[in-house]
Structure 1
Amino acid sequence: MSVGFFKVPYPQNEPVKEYRPGSEERATLKAALAEATSTIKDIPMYIGGEEVRTEDKRNLVAPHNHQQVLGHYYEGDAQHVEQAITAALNAKDEWAALSWEQRASIFLRAADLLAGPYRAKINAATMLGQSKNAYQAEIDAACEMIDFLRFNVHFATEIYEQQPRSSAGVWNRMEYRPLEGFIFALTPFNFTAIAGNLPTAPAMMGNTIVWKPALQQVLAAQVLMEVFQKAGLPDGVINLIYVDGPVAGEVIFQHPDFAGIHFTGSTKVFQAIWKTIGENIHRYKSYPRIVGETGGKDFVLVHESADAKAVATGLIRGAFEYQGQKCSAASRAYIPFTMWEEVKQYMLDDLAKIKVGSVEDFSNFVNAVIDEKSFDKIASYIENAKNDPAVEVIAGGTFDKTEGYFIQPTILKSQDPLSVTMCEEIFGPVLTIYLYNPDSFEDTIELVNQTSPYALTGSIFSKDRYIIDLVTKKLSNAAGNFYINDKPTGAVVGQQPFGGSRASGTNDKAGSSLNLLRWVSPRAIKETFVSPTDYSYPFLAE
Structure 2
Amino acid sequence: MTTNQTTIAPFKNEPFTDFTQEDNKKAMQEALAKVKQELGKEYPLHIGADKVTTEDKIVSINPGNIDQVIGRVSKATQELAERAIQTALSTFETWKRVPSRERAEYLLKAAELMRQRKHEFSAWMILESGKNWAEADADTAEAIDFMEFYAREAIRLSETNTHQPLTKLDGEDNRLTYIPLGVGVVIPPWNFPLAICAGMATAAVVSGNTVLVKPASTTPVIAHKFVALMEEVGLPAGVINYIPGSGAEVGDYLTTHPKTRFVSFTGSKEIGLRINRLAAETAEGQIWIKRVIAEMGGKDGIVVDETADLDAAAAAITASAFGFQGQKCSAGSRAVIVESVYDEIVEKVAELTKKLEIGLQDENYAAGPVIDENSYNKILEYIEIGKKEGRLVTGGGKAEGNGYYIQPTVFADVDGKARVMQEEIFGPVLAIAKAKDWKEAIAMYNDTEFGLTGAFFSKDESRIETALQDMHCGNLYINRKCTGALVGVHPFGGFNMSGTDSKAGGYDYLLLFTQAKLTSRKL
Give yes or no for TM over 0.5.
yes
Task: Read off the aligned partner of 1:431 and give its amino acid letter.
Answer: L
| Partner SS for 2:381 | helix
Aligned-partner Cα distance in 2 for 1:84–1:167: 46
Report the alpha carbon displacement of residue 11 of structure 1 after superposing the two structures with TM.
1.0
Can you list the C-alpha shifts for 1:459-483, whole angstroms capped at 9, x where unaligned?
A: 10001111111122122xx210000
| Cα distance change on mapping 1:256 and 1:401 into 2, 3 Å | farther
- Indicate if the aligned counterparts of 1:182 and 1:208 stay in contact, CA closer than 8 A: yes
Q: 1:250 to 1:396 in 2, by over 3 A?
A: closer
Match of 1:287 in 2: 289
Residues in 1 aligned to 2:255 and 2:383: alpha-carbon distance in whole angstroms:
37
- Quick check: 216-225 or 337-346, which moved more? 337-346
- Out of 216, 230, 233, the position equivalent to 2:232 is 230
* 1:301 to 2:303 alignment: yes
Match of 1:132 in 2: 131
Match of 2:445 in 1: 448
Pick the aligned partner of 2:506 from 480, 505, 512: 512
1:200-349 to structure 2, matched below 5 A, reads 200-280=202-282, 283-349=285-351
Indicate how the Cα distance of structure 1 residues 300 and 418 shifts in structure 2: closer, same or farther if over 3 A, else same.
Answer: same
The AA in structure 2 aligned to 1:183 is G
Equivalent residues in 2 for 1:118-129, closer than 5 Å: 118-129=117-128
Task: Output the CA distance in 2 between the equivalents of 1:333 and 1:131.
Answer: 25
Q: Name the aligned partner's letter for residue 448 of structure 1.
A: Y
Matched, 1:178 2:183: no
Equivalent position of 1:366 in the other structure: 367
> Aligned partners of 1:7 and 1:504: how far apart in 2?
38
Please identify, of 153-162 and 258-267, the stretch whose mean Cα deviation from structure 2 is larger: 153-162
- In structure 1, the residue matched to 2:454 is 458
Q: 1:283 offset after TM fit, Å?
A: 4.2
Larger Rg: 1
Between the aligned partners of 2:108 and 2:4, the Cα distance in structure 1 is: 19
Instruction: Pick the aligned partner of 1:169 from 163, 168, 171.
Output: 171
CA deviation profile, 1:284-325 (whole Å, cap 9, x unmatched)? 221111110000000111111011100110011000010000
**1:501 alignment counterpart:** 495
- Counterpart for residue 156 of structure 1: 154
Please give the alpha-carbon distance, in whole angstroms, between the structure 2 residues aligned to 1:415 and 1:200: 42
8 Å contact kept, 1:254–1:283: no
Q: Which runs of 5+ in 1 are unaligned?
A: 530-542
Give the corresponding residue for 1:83. Answer: 83
Q: Distance in 1 between matches of 2:205 and 2:3?
A: 22
Contact 2:58–2:217 (CA<8 Å) still a contact in 1?
Answer: no
3-state SS of 1:175 partner: strand
> How far off its partner does 1:260 sit?
0.5
* CA shift for structure 1 position 127: 0.7
- How far apart, in 2, do the equivalents of 1:190 and 1:4 lie? 35
Alpha-carbon offset, residue 156 of structure 1: 1.9
Equivalence for 2:112? 112
Deviation at 1:4, TM superposition (A): 9.9
SS of the residue aligned with 2:248? helix
1:175 positional shift: 2.5
**Aligned partners of 1:57, 1:518: CA distance in 2, in Å?**
34
SS of the residue corresponding to residue 350 of structure 2 reads helix
Distance 1:42 1:461 in 2: 49
Cα distance, 1:7 vs structure 2: 4.0
Q: Output the CA distance in 1 between the equivalents of 2:345 and 2:236.
A: 54
Between the aligned residues of both structures, percent identity stands at 34
Partner amino acid, structure 2, of 1:412 = F
Q: Contact conserved, 2:488 with 2:507, CA < 8 A, in 1?
A: no
Which consecutive residues of structure 2, in runs of 5 or more, have no partner in the other structure? none
C-alpha distance in 2 between matches for 1:65 and 1:398: 19
Contact kept, 8 Å, 1:32 with 1:124, in 2: the verdict is yes
Aligned length: 516
Deviation string 1:486-530 (CA, Å, 9 cap, x unpaired) is 11100000000000010000001000132100111122111222x
The one-letter amino acid of 2:467's match is: V
Alignment partners' CA distance in 1, 2:17 and 2:55: 41
| Compared CA separation, residues 415 and 125, structure 1 to 2 (3 A) | closer
- TM-score normalised to the size of structure 2? 0.95
Instruction: Report the Cα offset of residue 278 of structure 1.
Output: 1.8
Name the CA distance, whole Å, in 2 between partners of 1:423 and 1:111. 39
Deviates more, 1:157-166 or 1:258-267: 157-166
